[in-house]
Amino acid sequence: MLLKNCFPVLLAFVALTFVSCKKKKSDNPAPNVQEETLAFALPDIQLGKYNMAMDSSYALKVNVTSKMPDAGVKVMLSVATETGAIPLAQDPVPDTKTPQFTINLRHLKPLKTYEVTVWLSSLGNTANVTTHQVFYITNKSDQ
């Protein structure tokens, strides 16, 4: 008699356990798409060497050489005097989804040399960051 009373309760318990442990499609997150490691080139620049600007601005061409992330890339830029490392404020560089773009360096003082550091990071995967590329640029105008 006890078995007749306990059997439905036991059966309900097993059924609830089975249903609660079953995974639902909505529980599974979308698969994490692996991005290619970011890489870029500065085609008109000699890295680690001194480059010339003919006035207070310079159009810096950037080519993303890896597959462009679907979400695009964030561009980080640091410009500082070669001696003293005094920062030179630059306009913010907008995020981009195009593999070729231009960064406009501005406010370069005459006959001064600046250390410029550029790097990119993926907007879809914050761990996907390029290595820094460093070069020097001198405004050769005398005005």
pLDDT string in tens for the chain (143-residue length):
555 666 666 566 666 666 666 555 555 554 455 889 999 999 999 998 999 999 999 999 999 999 999 999 999 999 999 988 899 999 999 999 999 999 999 999 999 999 999 999 999 998 999 999 999 999 998 76
Tally Cβ neighbours within 10 Å of residue 35.
Answer: 17
Contact residues for 70 (Cβ-Cβ < 8 A; gap 6+): 33, 124
For CA atoms 19, 23, 25, 27, give the dihedral sign: positive
pLDDT value at residue 26:
53
Tell me, what's the pLDDT at 132?
A: 94
Domains in the chain and their CATH numbers? 40-139 (2.60.40.10)
Strand order through the sheet with 40-41: 40-41, 58-64, 100-105
